[in-house]
Amino acid sequence: MLTRRILWTALLTFAMQPGIGWDSALAGERTEFPPAARQRYEQGRDLQKKGQLNEAITAFEEAITLGMDAFPRVHLQRAKSNLDLKNYDTAIAQYTQFIENFGLEDSCRY
């Protein structure tokens, strides 16, 4: 069971394309969010790039709370930060929840 979970996590991690920003949104992907939420997401991405992963996770969680719950990438970036911190159980739970909520079609793997 654990091997299966690790495999799913690895597949999703490799499926994500690093560096995808607002300017390359997928067709049909929602991009209109409250400015405060969008700002926290962007801050999270900057913190993530600097290796400040705990702070990035906090920023992603705040972005979700502020209105970005329907934006798949914020959930993926939060899970990736947990994976990079080796918080495997948390990352697996977040990736699993992502699949349940958004499906694989919204996994930003294109």
pLDDT band at 83; cut points 50, 70, 90:
very high
Give the end-to-end CA distance of the chain in Å, rounded to a whole number. Answer: 28
CATH number, residue 52: 1.25.40.10
User: pLDDT per residue over 21-78, tens digit each?
Assistant: 444 455 456 668 999 999 999 999 999 999 999 999 999 999 999 999 999 999 999 9
Instruction: Check if the beta carbon of residue 76 is closer than 8 Å to that of residue 16.
Output: yes
Q: How many independent structural domains does the chain possess?
A: 1
- Count Cα atoms within 13 angstroms, Cβ side, for 27: 1
User: Which structural domain, as residue segments, surrounds residue 40?
Assistant: 33-103
Please give the model's pTM, rounded to 2 decimal places: 0.73
